[in-house]
Structure 1
């Protein structure tokens, strides 16, 4: 049985109560922040995420995995980049953008952001435009 886990924001406890953030929220924020980076073609999810997306439900956390460990929060991101970009530069930009977005929106500090480049997308000509 899957245990429902949240992230407590210790510094945000006050007389009104505490704030908890679901890992799914972090996945969505990280996925959107990564897709904003110039040179990213797409995020790559697993087979199940692809099936769900084909059924009409948009999955903004696709290709993002959040791990809550003893040392902190780790994000694993799987991406496909556009042909011709500098892979290390785009990967660093993705890490920076995710870190800034999460810090601004949630005040969460991360242990690490690991980028997995799974492919390069070449420019594909539109067949209808050629005819």
Structure 2
């Protein structure tokens, strides 16, 4: 389950009206960016309750937590990494990819991206 504050972020006023960016939108961008990263085989929920909720709701941003204070965006990502890859390299790649995609899509600066390796998976060697 994605944890986020339900206040709009990235509030901007234009001559045509206001623009509000939902934290869930940020989590979805981060989710797809994470899955594109080399060595990542999936995302993992933070705890059992989050795992059950995300299974029931089929929420695409499971394993991602978005927090913000003012214009600072902090993202936590729980990943499962392919066994045999360099964990540090995969984590750095995920952090850089997520930061790039979120900043590019929103035009807002990401304060931090924290990658938590929740487990390893061994692929079939057939």
TM superposition score normalised by structure 1? 0.80
Equivalent pairs counted in the alignment come to 122
Q: CA RMSD in A?
A: 2.3
Residues 65, 3 of structure 1: CA spacing in aligned structure 2 closer, same or farther, 3 A cutoff? Answer: closer
- Find out whether 1:47 has 2:48 as its counterpart: yes
- Unmatched tracts of structure 1, length 5 or more: 127-131
- Find out whether 1:21 has 2:21 as its counterpart: yes
Residues 7, 89 of structure 1: CA spacing in aligned structure 2 closer, same or farther, 3 A cutoff? Answer: same
**In 2, are the aligned partners of 1:8 and 1:18 still within 8 Å (CA)?**
no
**In 1, are the aligned partners of 2:66 and 2:74 still within 8 Å (CA)?**
yes
Higher strand proportion: 2
Distance in structure 2 (CA, Å) of the matches to 1:66 and 1:5: 12
* Worse overlay, 43-52 or 32-41: 43-52
Distance in structure 1 (CA, Å) of the matches to 2:5 and 2:122: 41
Aligned to 1:75: 75
**In 2, are the aligned partners of 1:74 and 1:112 still within 8 Å (CA)?**
yes
- Unmatched tracts of structure 2, length 5 or more: none
Distance in structure 2 (CA, Å) of the matches to 1:104 and 1:121: 31
**In 1, are the aligned partners of 2:6 and 2:23 still within 8 Å (CA)?**
no
TM superposition score normalised by structure 2? 0.83
Bigger relative contact order, structure 1 or 2 (CA pairs below 8 A, ≥6 apart): 2
**In 2, are the aligned partners of 1:23 and 1:66 still within 8 Å (CA)?**
yes
